[in-house]
Chain A
């Protein structure tokens, strides 16, 4: 079979950002790949050399709009580590609350986009419909749907008001039931299985050599979970 070269240019309906791939295909199987990146480079490291500590928290949030809590938590913990600052227990729990709500909305986001990119728009609409209550909860706690601005050196910027708590608990109960339904549906769906089973497999050996981490490495059989190995915030000070 002859090999063909297909350029997948910076702008494509499949890509949310601008990246350039050059695929070598034989029939329908991708055999080799070359990549060029750099269209998104904004120079965060250079800009942060001219800001003070509090300004750099706002800068670091805008590295990515989806994971916009992980970067400020890492930044603030690095600054607190310089002098071994201890923060109050309530602040640790508020940081964990914001972080875990972001985990929920981020997982629903990739599930929806994975369905959209293979042409299965039902998964997209259902997953993003149940993402809206999570963003409403974030707006009640911090004031914005993304880019919360909640982290400060030594604690958090805002407190959770007691009058808001029954509302938050109601929304969480509703989301809990719907998550079980979505997980069951996504695991059993015949269309997803037919399209995705056996495509793009990463072996155990490759996952160790290329230093994969998180859910990617757990799917290849390499055990490792940062919540168990290196616990931080509320995971390290249980009530």
Chain B
């Protein structure tokens, strides 16, 4: 599979899923595509459907109402797919630890490959994460 991974690393297509966030991480993700931090020069494109995507970006605490939908979305994605969890809400539930509406553990909902902490993580931190992913694929 390594020849496939090397071709994939040249141009990753990204789909963004919002699972009950406050939208700050989503705005910082969209900020990566604008002229200051331009990641389109690395070949990364935002697509409209999960069936076209190579990387799934998830943000937010996973609500009990949206949990079955996220599982269904993960099963609809063509494998291999990499899941990147963005924000403090994903890594440790942030300030919402005492909420009655959260899922128990994010790891039990979908398998996550990379975590990027921060509230919100700065665009430079997200670019470092993407560079590490491309480095892993190139091996």
A and B touch in their complex, CB below 8 angstroms: yes
| Residues of chain A whose beta carbon lies under 8 Å from any beta carbon of chain B | 10-11, 13, 16-18, 38-43, 46-47, 50, 58-59, 62-66, 68, 109, 124-125, 128-129, 132, 145-147
Contact of A66 among B27, B35, B73, B100 (CB under 8 A): B27
29 example contacts (A-B, Cβ-Cβ < 8 A) are as follows A10-B69, A11-B17, A11-B50, A11-B69, A17-B18, A18-B20, A18-B66, A38-B65, A39-B63, A39-B69, A42-B61, A46-B98, A47-B95, A50-B98, A59-B95, A62-B22, A62-B95, A65-B21, A65-B24, A65-B26, A65-B120, A66-B23, A128-B30, A128-B31, A129-B34, A146-B24, A146-B27, A146-B120, A147-B24
Which of A17, A47, A63, A66 is in CB contact (< 8 Å) with B99? A47
Q: A47-B95, A109-B27, A128-B31 are in contact. Are A64 and B22 (CB under 8 A)?
A: yes
**Which of A18, A46, A59, A146 is B18 in contact with, Cβ under 8 Å?**
A18
Instruction: Tell me what chain A mostly uses at the interface: helix, strand, loop, or mixed.
Output: loop
- From residue 4 to 51 of chain B, which have CB atoms closer than 8 A to chain A? 17-28, 30-31, 34-36, 48-50
Residues in A with CB closer than 8 Å to B27 are 65-66, 109, 146
A42 to B94, alpha carbons, bound, how many Å? 12
- Contact yes or no, A41 B120, CB < 8 A: no
Interface string of B92-134 (1 = CB under 8 A from A): 0011101111100000000000000001101000000000000
Q: Which of B42-97 contact A (CB under 8 A)?
A: 48-50, 61, 63, 65-66, 69, 73, 94-96
Give every chain A residue within 8 A of B73 (Cβ-Cβ).
11
B18 and A16 contact, CB distance less than 8 A: yes
Chain B residue at smallest Cβ distance from A43: B99
The 8 A-B pairs at the shortest CB distance, nearest first, are namely: A65-B24, A13-B48, A128-B34, A43-B99, A65-B23, A65-B22, A129-B35, A39-B66
Q: B66 — which chain A residues lie within 8 A by C-beta?
A: 10, 18, 39
Q: How far is the CB of A43 from chain B (nearest CB, A)?
A: 4
Given contacts A11-B73, A128-B34, A147-B119, contact A42 B24 (CB under 8 A): no
Given A59-B95, A125-B34: A39 in contact with B120 (beta carbons within 8 A): no
Q: Find the residue from A13, A18, A145 having the highest chain B CB count within 10 A.
A: A18
- Residues of chain A within 8 A (CB-CB) of B24 are 62, 65-66, 68, 146-147
